[in-house]
Amino acid sequence: MRIAVFHDDPVLLEKIRVHLQPEHSCHFYVHATNLLKDFRHETFDLLIAGWHLRDRDGIEVVQRIREMTGQHLPILVITRRSEERDVIEALSRGADDYMVKPVRTGELAARVAALLRRSHPQAHSEQLVFGPYRFDAEQRNLTLRGELISLKNREYDLALFLFRNAGRLLSRSHLREAAWGEFSDSPSRSLDTHVSRLRTKLHLSPDNGYTINAFYGMGYRLDVIGPMDSRG
């Protein structure tokens, strides 16, 4: 999953690198300006934020990002402030969970996993059937109403990621990381080419219950069209 980390505590950041980075794609920010700028054209699965940051109060940033993203992005605040009024303020201004430093690494990993499961249940599921589309994880292939669709490895990974995140607007970088890995240097046009191929190969249309839509300057969203229980 893709995590934005807005914190400047070197001890905490090292714990995140060691214990979260291997499983998740973590993007680190120490300046609110850069974080808010990226949130205008990037998408993330989780935000980890501090309270006292270099250029702006962290809770103000949490409130601003909650206003920008709505209720779908889980936010975890980690701070040394332990008074009940601090917890209440953080939660009332947009945080979903709260941890007091020093942070225990096992608890941090467990809280992150719980927030991600609750906020993105479909992305964490093992679901492989989506209306008339059926993915085979072992064979790494996809069928549409029983007819095999020939997909290359990257096309398969991108297609499954899109279906498991149907209804979510995903930034271009988010999609490239999911399909090609965090350190991919694949240019944007490569993503556009793959999405165009998937639209054609998968016959994404209202007749099949799904369409894919581009959002200028942002990315793509796979949309569910109508009830799927009668399709197949």
What pLDDT sits at residue 83? 96
What CATH number should be reported for the domain whose range is 124-224? 1.10.10.10
What pLDDT sits at residue 230? 39
Residue bearing tokens 């309270």? 51
Given this chain, do its domains 2-119 and 124-224 carry the same CATH topology?
A: no
The residue ranges of the chain whose pLDDT is under 70 are 182-188, 227-232
Distance of alpha carbon 158 from alpha carbon 122, whole angstroms: 15
In this prediction the pTM is 0.88
What pLDDT sits at residue 232? 42
What pLDDT sits at residue 187? 53
What sign does the CA torsion over 182, 39, 48, 29 have? positive
Q: Give the domain 2-119 fold.
A: Rossmann fold (3.40.50)
Helix, strand, or coil (residue 43): coil
Which candidate, 34, 45, 43, 31, places its Cα nearest to that of 3?
45
What pLDDT sits at residue 178? 82
What pLDDT sits at residue 228? 47
* Residue-wise pLDDT tens digits, 83-134: 999 999 999 999 999 999 999 999 999 999 999 999 988 777 788 999 999 9
112: which residues sit within 8 A by CB, 6+ positions away?
3, 20, 24, 46, 48, 76
Please report, for the chain, the start and end positions of each structural domain, with discontinuous segments joined by +: 2-119, 124-224
* Residue-wise pLDDT tens digits, 52-64: 887 788 999 999 9
What pLDDT sits at residue 155? 94
